[in-house]
Amino acid sequence: MSEKRTLGAMRCPGFEWRGVFGPLEWCGMLLGLGCIIVVAEKAGPVRSAQGPETVAQHGFDDCPRLDMLLVPGGFGTRTEVDNPAMLDFLRRRVPETEVAMTVCTGTSLFAKAGLLDGHRATTNKMFFQWVSDQGPKVNWVRAARWVEDGRFATSSGVSAGLDMSLAVISRLYGAETAKNLSIAAEYDWHRDADWDPFAKIHGLV
């Protein structure tokens, strides 16, 4: 559990606030077991879907090696799926990672880049059709809180990213560590990846 990892938190204009900062809450609580860097196409401020800006420390050109990558969703993904710089960065860097995570419609970027071809994946159920259209060769899971397949961990809507990232921490750092993080934050962790009432609400099952 002493191995240190570098997590790259992706930003693109219009990113979903909780989709990135929820999972980063857990990673930031790992107490020296890794570091977090913020990455965007260009270093500097990036506006969120909710309005406030955050600062990307690195652009695609100077991003250091990443052990883990987190890509949130948000309305910005609608344009980023057609951004060659974004897709090229993901195609180059995701294969180097140990774990590549997406929250909500962030899965669309991995799908459009072809990274999820032949893999199981899920996404926000409200926007399931649009995201799945980005990757016709992906084995889309219509009902799942999150899905883990190889290096990939993809989650449903924004809050599902909290559960997915705890599951990844449990795998990398131990179940006790993940449980203690959820207790410290007084968070009721959904541990069943198949728990997905929203698939029914949105007519997917």
Model pLDDT, residue 1: 43
Mean pLDDT to the nearest integer, 102-122 = 98
CATH no. for residue 164? 3.40.50.880
Model pLDDT, residue 32: 73
85-104: pLDDT as tens digits: 999 999 999 999 999 999 99
Range of the domain at 58: 5-201
Report phi then psi at 132, rounded to 5.
-65, -25
Mean pLDDT to the nearest integer, 181-197 = 96
Mean pLDDT to the nearest integer, 64-74 = 96
Is the Cα torsion angle 157, 162, 164, 165 positive or negative in sign? positive
Q: Evaluate if residue 37 carries a pLDDT over 70.
A: yes
Mean pLDDT to the nearest integer, 66-79 = 96
Q: What pTM value is reported for the model? A: 0.95
Domain count, the chain: 1
Q: Are strands 139-140 and 120-121 parallel, antiparallel or unpaired?
A: parallel
